[in-house]
Structure 1
Amino acid sequence: MSQRAKPAFPDPVLIETTDALAALCARLAAAEFVTVDTEFMRERTYWPELCVVQIAGPEDVAVIDALAPGLDLAPLYALFDDERVTKVFHAARQDLEIFHLRTGRLPTPLFDTQVAAMVAGFGDQVGYDALIAALTGATIDKAFRFSDWSARPLTPQQIAYAAADVTHLRRAYVKLRARLERSGRLAWVAEEMAALADPATYRLDPEEAWQRLKPRSTNRRFLAVLRAVAAWREREAQRLNIPRQRVVKDETVLEVAAQAPSDVAGLLRARGFPRSLAEGKSGAALLAAISAAKALPEEALPEVEERRNGGRASPALVALLKVLLAAKCEEHDVAQRLVASAEDLERLAAEDEPDLPCLHGWRRAVFGEAALALKAGKVALSAAGRRVSLVPLPSTAAG
């Protein structure tokens, strides 16, 4: 079906009152599943501003104006809590983060079609447009993708665009689920949904913000100061509700951590550090945090990769594991990204018994067992025609 074909769903309804939302959610509570998407703004703020929630059931397509005066989203959250109704999203993480921030809860049960598509052989992190085209033949109109969803009133074109996301998703979900049932991989998706449904996934801990910067240093004292500076920036961004890069940029955070200044003059020597922050209460709080980090005992310093792994991985072994991962994922028609990350492969090469997802559950069957056999010298990689395969080695050759 193309975008110009006769729609298979009723025209979308704009929901602007709590009564209308309650009536909609009462009808949707009888559905086996609903499809959900959101439109939000985050370019100018730290916390996402929810603007629109679009939702579709068997007979309803609605665009909920989350900014409508007096609208209470409680009926929607009650529907999200209803375990009889599956909530279907595509690339759900940011949507779920918004709902978790607002309510402290997550919609349950969940189904993410992007994750399911990776299990079903559609490649790494398949986009919504590509998945819809592959499963339904529909073409998505991209004209309003970067619309200002906080502007009011919503235009008819915006409403139609928002509604299309959840109507096409209904057809895609039905086909994708059937495909997974036929291949026996629905349980694989359920394992991935457990991580998405874990509230810990969405907790924003300022003390962990430093890891986002991916420092290369193995100096644990520097890393302790970096942790303190990055945590300070995260709290400032949250307090001011502005993007963290507008507080101070990443390179400034790294420079401040490297210099570890003890006074305002030292802060101002870091290129790009705002004088308004350095000379106020925020600057004083940062200097105190740096001082505390410099005074930490050795056992309280962050661990570094070499210490955690007991040594660096062999680049050659990591390269072999990468080839094996690609070969096994090609064989099983599953996305590599879903099986193991580059960091996982580094740890697998460096550690004897790492606790990694690729060594548990379905991932172990697809890749983990073969990876351990390769490390143990029990198998070798060989090119067979156009594919890479595993060749068993004699036990005398092991080691």
Structure 2
Amino acid sequence: ACIDPQALPDITPALDLLYQEHSIKVLHACRQDLEIFYQLRRRPLRPVFDTQMAAPLLGYPDQISYAALVEELLGAKLNKDHTRTDWRQRPLTPQQLEYAANDVIYLGRIYLKLRHALEEAGKLAWLEEDFASLYVPSEYETRPGNAWLRLRQAWQFEGAQLAALQALATWRETRARKQDQPRTWILRDEALYDLARALPRSRADLGAIPTLPGKTASRHGDALLETIDQARHRAPDPVPMALHPVKRLDKDEKAQVTRLLDLAQARCAELALDPRTLTSRKELARLLRGERNLRLLRGWRRRVAGEELLAIVEPPAGASSPPP
């Protein structure tokens, strides 16, 4: 049966059922769903089994779609005509209800197949390590003052522009929570960047920013200008190194990263893993440049490949790296 939360006077009984820890909740690409549950109950939903996280450990593509996984494992083809539908509209059509049902009814069978295969391959414990990160409250807690850390282009800003970007991200996060709306409905990232670059001083200046919708400028113009003006004279928080792109590698470094990637991919072939679930060229470049707070160096990834790759980058005293 499909449950419509908007039709229920109180969703507490449904949440009570979902939060029973003796039952496994099977989802596909669950992080956004878990964020919503966390906001409702202020604690992570557990235990869960994410089929998108599980599939790459068996060689399926990293971030495989639900429809592709259903077809691959069960041979069923899903109609995705309503992927972009507006689910706030009521009443829902029979076609929308069928789509909603199809989006979950195959999960049980997929779960059983994936779990059995992972047990057979000795990888179920690996997956449990990855699932553990889903139960950490800080994964879902974004303090308004830290909202700017989600902005991928923040590393490009400095000085007053960076301070303005940080302040605008805080303002957007606070407004989104107050209105219970997605951040991008308040202001898109592109508009945040352009506002911070332009440092507008007047409503006329706001009107010259093409990525800022006119309705948004009209509704929030004074608040945006005040936020920017206050930030203009404040020192910004430093941008963490993790937000900076890896600096351009020289010829020798590129060759070394390629060698590391070849070794990682060979290990994945031996273990029937999708290579992208183990590491990436970008992460290996960071490893080569000295970063150690990397996914590759935690848990099962470190055991199956990370330790070996780290030994190449940092050979023990008195030893030397083997020739390329």
Partner residue in 2 for 1:163: 101
C-alpha change, 1:146 and 1:182, in structure 2 (3 Å) is: same
TM-score, structure 1 as length reference? 0.67
Whether 1:347 and 2:286 are equivalent positions in the alignment is yes
Alignment of 1:126 onto 2:73: no
The amino acid of 2:274's aligned partner reads: A
Measured at CA, do residues 156 and 288 of structure 1 come closer, stay the same or move farther in structure 2, by a change above 3 Å? closer
Conserved 8 A contact 1:80-1:106: no
| Counterpart AA for 1:175 | K
Instruction: Name 2:54's counterpart in structure 1.
Output: 116
Give the equivalent residue in structure 2 for 1:91. 29
Once residues 282 and 309 of structure 2 are traced to their aligned partners in structure 1, the CA distance between those partners, rounded to angstroms, is: 15
1:360 counterpart (294, 298, 302) = 298
**In structure 2, which of residues 228, 231, 253 is the aligned counterpart of residue 290 of structure 1?**
228
One-letter code aligned to 2:238: P
C-alpha separation in 2, matches of 1:363 and 1:197 = 19
Is the 1:332–1:366 contact (alpha carbons within 8 Å) kept by the matching residues of 2? no
CA distance in 1, matches of 2:176, 2:161: 22
Q: Tell me the CA shift for residue 116 of structure 1.
A: 0.8
Residues 160 and 233 in structure 2, CA contact (< 8 A), matched pair in contact too: no
Quick one: distance in 2 between partners of 1:373 and 1:173? 37
| Shift in CA distance, 340/153, structure 1 to aligned 2, threshold 3 Å | same
- 1:105 deviation in Å? 2.9
Bigger Cα displacement from structure 2, 126-135 vs 335-344? 335-344
The Cα shift of 1:186 comes to 0.6
Q: Deviation string for 1:68-107 (max 9, x for gaps)?
A: 153x222221122211111111111222222222222332
Q: What is the one-letter code of the residue matched to 1:340?
A: T
Matches for 1:25-64 after TM superposition, within 5 Å: 62-64=1-3
1:302 and 2:238 are equivalent in the alignment: yes
The RMSD of aligned alpha carbons is 3.5
The change in CA–CA distance for 1:68 and 1:279 in structure 2 (over 3 A counts) is closer
Q: Cα–Cα, structure 1 residues 135 and 229, in superposed 2: closer, same or farther, change >3 Å?
A: same
CA separation of 1:339 and 1:205: change in aligned 2, threshold 3 A = farther
Which has the larger helix fraction?
A: 2
Specify which of 260, 276, 295 is matched with residue 199 of structure 2. Answer: 260
Asked if 1:82 is matched to 2:20, the reply is yes
**Does the aligned pair in 2 maintain the 1:110–1:197 contact within 8 Å?**
no
Deviation at 1:172, TM superposition (A): 1.3
**8 Å CA contact 1:329, 1:366 repeated in 2:** no
Superimposed CA distance per residue, residues 332-380 of structure 1 (whole angstroms, 9 cap, x where no aligned partner): 22233322355533321211x51222112210122212321332469xx
Counterpart secondary structure, 2:25? strand
Q: Does 1:330 align with 2:269?
A: yes
- How far apart are 1:197 and its partner, in Å? 2.2
Compute the displacement of 1:210 (Å): 5.4
Alignment of 1:237-276 (within 5 A): 237-240=176-179, 244-245=183-184, 247-273=186-212
For residues 190 and 337 of structure 1, the distance between their equivalents in structure 2, rounded to whole angstroms, comes to 18
**1:239, distance to aligned residue in structure 2 (A):** 4.1
User: 1:203 deviation in Å?
Assistant: 2.5
Shift of 1:278: 5.3
CA distance in 1, matches of 2:35, 2:249: 35
TM-score when normalising by structure 2: 0.81
Conservation of the 8 A alpha-carbon contact between 2:206 and 2:212: yes
By how many angstroms is 1:313 displaced?
5.7
Task: State the SS of the aligned residue for 1:84.
Answer: coil
> Larger % of strand: which?
1
Letter matched to residue 41 of structure 2: T
- For 2:128, the equivalent position in structure 1 comes to 190
Larger Rg: 1
- Unpaired runs of 5+ in structure 2? none
Shift in Å, 1:184: 0.9
Is it true that 1:100 corresponds to 2:38 in the alignment? yes
User: Could you tell me which amino acid in structure 2 is paired with residue 115 of structure 1?
Assistant: M
